[in-house]
Amino acid sequence: MSYDYGTCHVCGGKVAEKLTDQMVQEAVGWVLIRSVPTGVCTKCGEKVLQGQVIAKLEQILEVRNSRTPDQCIQIPVFAFG
């Protein structure tokens, strides 16, 4: 049974669960966490995370230096202007 996210707090649209990638910036760099269960508004795209999902993300970040990542990638960086 999936979580009922209800309606979007921004536009009132329906919020459906999708798996998304979350980028987190830390002092030592960026971390990409894949396949995160996320409530996404089908109308405006606003994203919502459940408390237990946020707790799991924090747990992953706490132990990230003591475990080997599943994959490492290089990301090209460009300035806007």
pLDDT per residue as tens digits for the range 11-42? 999 999 999 999 998 887 889 999 999 999 99
Secondary structure in 3-state letters for 21-76: EEEEEECCEEEEEEEEEEEEECCCCCEECCHHHHHHHHHHHHCHHHCCCCCCCCCC
Confidence of residue 46 (pLDDT cuts 50, 70, 90): very high
More confident residue, 1 or 74: 74
CATH fold label, 15-66: Ubiquitin-like (UB roll) (3.10.20)
What are the structure tokens assigned to 31, written together? Answer: 């971390």
User: The pTM is what?
Assistant: 0.83
